Amino acid sequence: MDPRFREIEFNHSFQYRVRSHECDRQGIVHNARYLEILEVARIEFVRKILKTPIDAGSFVTHDKYFTVRNAIDYFAPARFDEELVVLTRVAKLGRTSITFEQVINGKSDGRRVIECESVVVHVDPVTNEPLPVPDSQRRLVEQSH
């Protein structure tokens, strides 16, 4: 496990229960489904930690971000109906990007399921060209640490 992902440094925790349609024929969560779980946790991070309202225009007509990188290390499988704990934090705030680090652990036994680093880039809602992260959002991220 990467030493960067020590739990004590995460400022957001989100609980998630695995649903049946997320599992493959082996009875474990399909590897691609973790990306959806991580996205749900990042949105809750934005809502709760950054105190940014989410509405129908979020991520479409304003505050538009593209995910440009996901790097996942898998350690143990999660299974149907298992409760998971997803930890999220901002690891780096660039000029146009935000780097998130996330961990998923089993709730009942604390075992490490995955570690993930995701990068999102702020873009113009019309041209989709990179734009600097707005100062208002930058301040919220900086205050969350």
Answer with the residue of higher pLDDT: 2 or 123: 123
| Ordered structural domains, the chain, with CATH | 3-143 (3.10.129.10)
Q: State the pLDDT at residue 1.
A: 65
Cα distance between residue 37 and residue 109, in whole Å = 19
Quickly state the pLDDT bin for 86 (edges 50, 70, 90): very high
Task: Single out the residue of 85, 81, 145, 134 nearest to residue 113, CA to CA.
Answer: 85
Share the mean pLDDT of the chain: 90
Please work out, in degrees rounded to the nearest 5, the angle formed at the alpha carbon of residue 82 by the alpha carbons of 120 and 78. 60
**pLDDT tens sequence across 42-77:** 999 988 888 877 877 776 667 789 999 999 999 999
**DSSP category for residue 81:** T
Would you state the structure tokens that stand for residue 67, as one six-digit string? 């995910």
Task: Single out the residue of 95, 102, 94, 40 nearest to residue 71, CA to CA.
Answer: 102
